[in-house]
Amino acid sequence: MKKKITQDWQIALIHWLIAGIAMPFLFSLIFGMTIINVIESFGVIVWLAILGEVIKFFLIWISIIYSAKYISKMFIIKNSLNVVRLATIYLIIFVGGFRLIFFDGSDEINYILSVIHLLSLLVIAPFFYFSSKNYIKNSGEVKEDII
């Protein structure tokens, strides 16, 4: 398959959509709908929310690897650092904005869950940046330890 020459912002957008949005969103949707009607205990809900964030962290890592393979097959990457920076900026602006807009402080449990989601962005954003930087390389460079 012939690689396409594309702008960095478009490659970054694709990487962000695959690794930063699609997989974590699908997991959150499935995980949240599974436990929402099953668990009634406050403490259990908080621990499951933390567990969900940890699992989402792992899924983002797997998604970054998949996305890096995909975009390296499809596109000629001239400036990988620019792609990684743009994708991370997209992640912070979109996810941070989304979590701030839908911050729910109506009662104690919703407040705690909203804070957990917001704080997880402080961990996920640097992880997303450094992992993406590790796996996304300029065309011609090869990262050997990709799964």
pLDDT digits (tens, 9 = 90+) for 25-71: 888 778 777 776 666 666 677 777 778 888 888 989 999 999 999 99
Residue 147 lies in a domain: no
**122, burial (CB in 10 Å: exposed 0-12, middle 13-18, buried 19+):** exposed
Residue 21 lies in a domain: yes
Could you list the residue range(s) of the whole structural domain that residue 89 is in? 4-135
The tokens describing 76, both together, are 């000629």
What confidence tens digit (pLDDT) does each residue in 67-109 have?
A: 999 999 999 999 999 999 999 999 999 988 988 888 887 888 7
Contacts of 90 (CB under 8 A, 6+ apart): 12, 13, 16, 20
Determine the Cα–Cα distance for residues 102 and 137; give it in Å rounded to an integer: 35
Residue 69 lies in a domain: yes
Residue 47 lies in a domain: yes
The residue among 44, 54, 53, 42 whose CA lies nearest residue 111 is 42
Residue 144 lies in a domain: no
Residue 142 lies in a domain: no
pTM of this structure: 0.81
Residue 19 lies in a domain: yes
Number of structural domains in the chain: 1
**61, burial (CB in 10 Å: exposed 0-12, middle 13-18, buried 19+):** middle
Residue 141 lies in a domain: no
